[in-house]
């Protein structure tokens, strides 16, 4: 099946620079289509049928990029910001030119799994409230977390604005003055987990996302590190 796109769009989607920069590449004669120098950066190319070479090297076209980032604290989940450092700022220059955006948000002080992609359809699927995609977090709580909290979370708790949360799964890992828990939520309201604990009289003091859908954070990634997802991991993210 044909997949026709403008040459400059293909080149910039592939991380070769901005539209202006790739136009210059074409002008400089660095780009060939099926062995013939490209004349114009606006020309239409069939990605499935034609071969593109840049500086003599074949360009292997990939439409979608999926990145797993271990988000550190102090970074905001946005693509750009005038004052704050964003998750996109952590990526290499090449990756930045793919137009990647974070799938959902984590608070500035939350760590852990953040997926970035230019696959808008998958992003929409994962964020749509009606899909109830599970998100798993590890949290440290100031206060003794009890079986009563587990039951209350399973029924759904009422937040301070009157919203009743969907049932969530709370697992106590350690119960004490400072407790450690794992929690799975199926929605993504603003500060949701922090507010859920406030509703049972406790405070989240550390929060880390460890899974989204069936995709788990790679524990080998240090804070601030990222890598592309394997194909099998993209499937884990897609399948519910
Ligand atoms: N719940 C929160 O309170 N914060 C997050 O960053 C994610 C879920």
Report the alpha-carbon distance of residue 193 to residue 68 in Å, rounded. Answer: 22
Alpha-carbon separation of residue 37 from 4, 32, 81 (angstroms): 18, 4, 39
Q: How far is the CA of 104 from the centre of ligand 1 (A)?
A: 11
For residue 240, the model assigns a pLDDT of: 64
Å from CA of 233 to ligand 1 middle: 23
Provide the CATH topology of domain 134-212.
Answer: Alpha-Beta Plaits (3.30.70)
Pocket around ligand 1: residues whose beta carbon is below 6 Å from it? 106-107, 110, 191-194, 207
Residue 19: per-residue pLDDT: 87
Alpha-carbon distance 186 to 132, whole Å?
A: 5
Which sequence spans correspond to the domains of the chain? Answer: 4-58, 66-129+220-238, 134-212
Domains 66-129+220-238 and 134-212 share a fold: yes
Q: Which CATH class is domain 4-58?
A: alpha beta
Fold classified for 66-129+220-238: Alpha-Beta Plaits (3.30.70)
Low-confidence residues of the chain, pLDDT below 50? none
């Amino acid at each position: 099946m044909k997949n026709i796109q403008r040459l400059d769009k293909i080149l910039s989607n592939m991380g070769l620079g901005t539209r202006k920069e790739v136009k210059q590449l074409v002008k400089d004669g660095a780009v060939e289509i099926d062995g013939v120098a490209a004349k114009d950066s606006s020309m239409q190319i069939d990605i499935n049928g034609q071969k593109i070479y840049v500086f003599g090297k074949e360009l292997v076209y990939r439409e979608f990029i999926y990145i797993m980032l271990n988000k550190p604290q102090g970074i905001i989940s946005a693509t750009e910001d005038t004052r704050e450092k964003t998750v996109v700022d952590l990526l290499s220059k090449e990756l930045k030119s793919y137009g990647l955006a974070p799938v959902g948000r984590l608070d500035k002080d939350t760590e852990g799994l953040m997926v970035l992609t230019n696959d808008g359809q998958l992003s929409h699927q994962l964020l749509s409230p009606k899909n109830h995609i599970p998100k798993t977090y590890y949290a440290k709580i100031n206060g003794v977390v009890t079986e009563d909290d587990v039951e209350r979370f399973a029924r759904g708790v009422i937040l301070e604005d009157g919203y009743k949360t969907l049932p969530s799964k709370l697992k106590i890992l350690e119960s004490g003055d400072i407790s450690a828990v794992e929690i799975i939520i199926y929605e993504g309201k603003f500060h949701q987990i922090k507010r859920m604990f406030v509703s049972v009289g406790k405070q989240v003091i550390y929060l880390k996302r460890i899974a989204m859908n069936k995709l788990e954070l790679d524990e080998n990634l240090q804070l601030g590190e990222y890598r592309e997802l394997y194909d099998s991991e993209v499937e884990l993210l897609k399948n519910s």
